[in-house]
Amino acid sequence: MRLKFHTLDVFTAERYSGNPLAVVLDADALDMPAMLRITREFNLSETVFVMATAKPAHTARVRIFTPGGEVPFAGHPTVGVAALLAELRSPETNGERDALIVLEENIGTVRVGVRQKPGAAAHAEFDAPKLPEPTAGVPPVDLLAAALGLIPSEIGLENHRPCAYSAGLPFVFVPVQTLAAMAKASIHMAHWTAAFGTTHAPYLYCRETVHASSHFHARMFAPNMGITEDPATGSAAAAFAAVTVRFDSPRDGLNKKIIEQGFEMGRPSFIELSMMVKQGKLETVRIGGQAVRVSDGEIEI
């Protein structure tokens, strides 16, 4: 059996940057072990498997895998697969393709708006399927520092302190003082499990940025998921909305932030985070970004 696949670079408008993604089409006949084998063969942060849906109003059923296993939701696979399906399935009108892609993910139904214009990378944006919620398991600063190769004084930013939230996947959010400290952060496995257990991954962020248009600089490590470092993490950005509301007290109404990530890996990425705040509380979270196709072919099962 041969199945068609495509690869895309996500959260970027340029090939060979952003977060690479593999998408395998017509994957209905594959079981979980086969999907995991294929994911490990591509050896990217995530691979998406597209299947038919029984609901006429929905576009596709998708399953998302990291090299470590299946996840219920992830941001760059959602953006990338929606951009691809819009290009493959949506009719062109006046040279443009605008589409609403409705995906059935393990976390629930996710609706993605896609804009495609000639000569430009597709842009996709979706409402987070659930609002971020606090989770247990914030380690002490000295243990965080030991696991990340930092010194305790480099952790903490203004009034920001380490905290943990999940909008589908759990993260420990680690505020870091400077870009220089961000650059030297690394995985120290001797302290990793004590700091993060087997479920959480650290998401480091600081206000110093490479690009003047960005609001935050970020890094994410997830060795327990088979991801040494992720070039762009949309699920973490969705949960990060709660961090900004908690510590920055944004004004009521629509607040937009640009998060840059992947620079230390040579894969610059830009995630658009939109937050609707009402009476100081988070009402909705939206994640957006661009995606560009890189390759296509067939994989033999």
Catalytic residue IDs = 46
Model pTM above 0.75: yes
Q: What is the DSSP string of the chain?
A: -EEEEEEEEES-SSTTSSEEEEEE-S-TT--HHHHHHHHHHHTSSEEEEEE--S-TT--EEEEEEETTEEES--HHHHHHHHHHHHHHHSPPBTTBEEEEEEEEETTEEEEEEEEE-TTS-EEEEEE-SS--EE-S----HHHHHHHHT--GGGB-BTTB--EEEESSSEEEEEEBS-HHHHHH----HHHHHHHHTTT-EEEEEES--SSTT-SEEEEEEEGGGTEEEES--HHHHHHHHHHHHHHH-PPSEEEEEEEEE-GGGT--EEEEEEEEEETTEEEEEEEEEEEEEEEEEEEE-
pLDDT(71) > 80: yes
Tell me the average pLDDT of the chain: 96
Report pLDDT for 95: 64
Which of 3.30.70.1560, 3.10.290.10, 3.10.310.10, 3.40.630.30 would CATH assign to domain 133-289? 3.10.310.10
Span 242-264, average pLDDT: 98
Q: CATH 3.10.310.10 occupies which residues in the chain?
A: 2-127, 133-289
Which of 1.10.3720.10, 3.90.1150.10, 3.40.50.300, 3.10.310.10 would CATH assign to domain 2-127? 3.10.310.10
Q: What is the pLDDT of residues 127-157, one digit of tens each?
A: 999 999 999 879 999 999 999 999 999 999 9
Report pLDDT for 97: 76
Report pLDDT for 286: 98
Report pLDDT for 94: 62
Q: What is the pLDDT of residues 159-206, one digit of tens each?
A: 999 999 999 999 999 999 999 999 999 999 999 999 999 889 999 999
